[in-house]
A and B are shown apart, each in its own frame.
Chain A
């Protein structure tokens, strides 16, 4: 299985400031034939299911605010929130779907400082 490791495990950011969450895969999730990174980001608020934010590493899902962006390739990826809003308090997960079984990172808890 591909192991996904997120950092940090938790972070606290002031409202209006930027937040960066990192995700590293134990092997590349870049599919050479189509140059796509098989990597998604999800947001999970307490008591709710995960919500898809980003797929193909950098494509924003419809309806997701543009303060959320994804970047990276191969084994190293980043989710960036440009200006933290109160509703962004959540746990964020990365997921690879390059190989079966798809695997998730352990999650990063984002709080307001």
Chain B
């Protein structure tokens, strides 16, 4: 069974760049018709889709974040990454990485999530 694990700093200063990596184990990040996503959840609130990447390197981003987000993939390391620039307190959230199925469809495997706080 594929497992996903987020890693990265838990504290980022305002105006700086948030950087997270998701490591995929138990299977190849390049297999099948899967895609790889980032989703975030502020404390006590709902889920916000950030974006996704395919093994081809093609990406889609949430228009609300598009100017600040970059998602990349390293198939040799079985990892994909998130960069979010110019962060503010509003970007404080639990960040999840997840696997999506069938090119655009449901998210069937999620990481445990990592809390990132934006504070000076």
Contact = CB atoms under 8 A, between A and B. Distances in A.
A97 B47 contact: no
Interface residues of B, number: 22
Contacts of B27: none
A52 B47 contact: no
Contacts of A74: none
26 contacts: A1-B63, A40-B105, A42-B107, A49-B96, A49-B111, A49-B113, A51-B110, A52-B106, A55-B101, A55-B105, A55-B106, A55-B108, A61-B106, A61-B108, A93-B46, A95-B106, A97-B100, A100-B60, A100-B104, A101-B49, A101-B60, A101-B62, A104-B46, A104-B49, A106-B46, A107-B46
Given A49-B113, A52-B106, 17 more contacts: A40-B106, A49-B110, A49-B111, A50-B107, A50-B110, A52-B108, A55-B105, A55-B106, A56-B105, A61-B106, A61-B108, A95-B47, A95-B107, A103-B49, A104-B46, A104-B47, A107-B46
